């Protein structure tokens, strides 16, 4: 099943930018399109701005961020944009959206480091701006993986974003027949190694939280669990944490592998830890051993197969 992916409309090639141009991302359009159903939004067009249109920017007006025309601070789109963004974010929060790719640097869609100007026309260096629309998305859906088009050129950020989108789809699928304690416990048990790799602290804390699921209202529990899980997965899985998980997996084969096989696996894990090999190499061997010596608990771990291999996202890790 495809996951729903919100996108800045210009990122999938729609000519909606101020200059009638677009910012088509080939990764999004070519590689993700097989797995994602796009939900394109151009907030500036949605509030009635024409194409082409005068450029707009973020302005620090008495410590209040305004969205104004670049050449005339009195042409102010702030309230219209806030109203649209809050309404749209509320609507999208009910749509099982699994991720959002926004266009960098835009005063509307930028996720971070958007320029904020002073009344005198200079850039306020100390201000780190966020586009007004994306700010509303982040506030309404703190669990949602959001990434900028340009940052997806970084293999680590790309892998992390795509993985989180698949994980969120998986969470919604796991609850498709209703949110139950059993469904949450089963889902969580599949993500234990993933959590161990991404955030050992939340791995322990979420484990305790899930163990007490019976003490909570199930819907409230789900909302908190979803946010905590997705925020934990946003941490990069470090080489050190991945090594710990690989060694943990190695332990499952201590009775089934012979001396030579154990030494070979240990050598690959060590080579990965030293940065001499990508994560994929020891993982491939572990998956091979798992075929020969099946283990129900390990086989269901998302860590071993977090998304389709055809995306080839683990090559750069
Ligand atoms: S960055 Fe956002 S507001 Fe600007 S053209 Fe793209 S979708 Fe529209």
Ligand 1 mean position to 15 CA, how many Å? 9
Ligand 1 mean position to 53 CA, how many Å? 12
Ligand 1 mean position to 28 CA, how many Å? 16
The helix-helix angle for 78-92 and 132-140 (nearest 10°) equals: 30
The protein residue whose alpha carbon is closest to atom 4 in ligand 1 is 17
Identify the pLDDT of residue 128. 79
Q: Are residues 118 and 196 in the same domain?
A: no
Using the atom order of ligand 1, give the atom closest to the CA of residue 10.
6
Q: Are residues 212 and 121 in the same domain?
A: no
- Given ligand 1 and candidates 6, 109, 114, which is best to mutate, with the most ligand atoms within 8 Å of its CB? 109
Q: Are residues 50 and 96 in the same domain?
A: yes
Q: Are residues 117 and 161 in the same domain?
A: no
Q: Are residues 170 and 220 in the same domain?
A: yes
Q: Are residues 35 and 142 in the same domain?
A: yes
Q: Are residues 271 and 144 in the same domain?
A: no
The phi, psi pair for 135, rounded to 5°, reads: -60, -45
Q: Are residues 96 and 160 in the same domain?
A: no
The ligand 1 site (C-beta within 6 Å) comprises 8-10, 16-17, 42-44, 103, 106, 108-109
Q: Are residues 147 and 267 in the same domain?
A: no
Ligand 1 mean position to 151 CA, how many Å? 17
Identify the pLDDT of residue 317. 79
Ligand 1 mean position to 39 CA, how many Å? 13
Identify the pLDDT of residue 189. 97
Identify the pLDDT of residue 155. 92
Range of 262's domain? Answer: 155-317
Last residue of a domain, one of 120, 136, 153: 153
Using the atom order of ligand 1, give the atom closest to the CA of residue 23.
6
Q: Domain count of the chain?
A: 2
Last residue of a domain, one of 153, 187, 219: 153
Q: Are residues 278 and 145 in the same domain?
A: no
Q: Are residues 9 and 85 in the same domain?
A: yes
Give the pLDDT of the chain (317 residues) as one tens digit per residue: 799 999 999 999 999 999 999 999 999 999 999 999 999 999 999 999 999 999 999 999 998 999 999 999 999 999 999 999 999 999 999 999 999 999 999 999 999 999 999 988 889 866 679 999 999 999 999 999 999 999 999 999 999 999 999 999 999 999 999 999 999 999 999 999 999 999 999 999 999 999 999 999 999 999 999 999 999 999 999 999 999 999 999 999 988 999 999 999 999 999 999 999 999 999 999 999 999 999 999 999 999 999 998 898 887 77
Q: Are residues 149 and 244 in the same domain?
A: no
State both tokens at 91: 């609507």
d(CA 155, CA 287) in angstroms, rounded, equals 23
Last residue of a domain, one of 153, 186, 210: 153
């Amino acid at each position: 099943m495809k996951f729903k992916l919100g996108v800045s409309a210009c990122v999938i090639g729609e000519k909606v930018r101020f200059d009638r141009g677009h910012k088509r991302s080939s990764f999004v359009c070519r590689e993700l399109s097989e797995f994602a159903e796009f939900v394109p939004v151009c907030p500036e067009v949605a509030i009635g701005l024409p194409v082409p249109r005068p450029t707009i920017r973020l302005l620090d007006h008495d410590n209040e961020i305004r969205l104004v025309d670049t050449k005339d601070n009195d042409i102010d789109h702030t309230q219209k944009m806030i109203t649209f963004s809050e309404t749209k974010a509320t609507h999208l929060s009910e749509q099982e959206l699994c991720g959002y790719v926004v266009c960098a640097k835009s005063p509307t869609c930028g996720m971070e480091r958007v320029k904020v100007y002073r009344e005198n026309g200079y850039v306020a260096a100390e201000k780190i701006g966020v586009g007004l629309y994306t700010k509303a998305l982040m506030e309404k859906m703190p669990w949602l993986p959001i990434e900028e088009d340009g940052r997806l050129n970084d293999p680590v950020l790309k892998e992390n974003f795509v993985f989180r989108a698949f994980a969120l789809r998986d969470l919604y699928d796991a609850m498709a027949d209703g949110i139950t304690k059993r469904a949450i416990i089963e889902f969580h048990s599949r993500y234990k190694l993933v959590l161990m790799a991404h955030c050992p602290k939340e791995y322990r804390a979420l484990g305790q939280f899930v163990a007490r699921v019976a003490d909570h209202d199930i819907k409230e529990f789900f909302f908190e669990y979803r946010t905590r899980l997705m925020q934990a997965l946003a941490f990069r899985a470090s080489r050190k944490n991945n090594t710990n998980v690989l060694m943990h997996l190695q332990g499952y084969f201590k009775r089934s592998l012979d001396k030579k096989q154990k030494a070979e696996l240990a050598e690959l894990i060590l080579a990965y830890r030293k940065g001499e090999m990508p994560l994929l190499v020891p993982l491939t061997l572990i998956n091979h051993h798992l075929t020969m010596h099946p283990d129900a608990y390990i086989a269901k771990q998302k860590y071993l197969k977090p998304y389709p291999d055809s995306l080839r996202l683990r090559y750069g890790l």
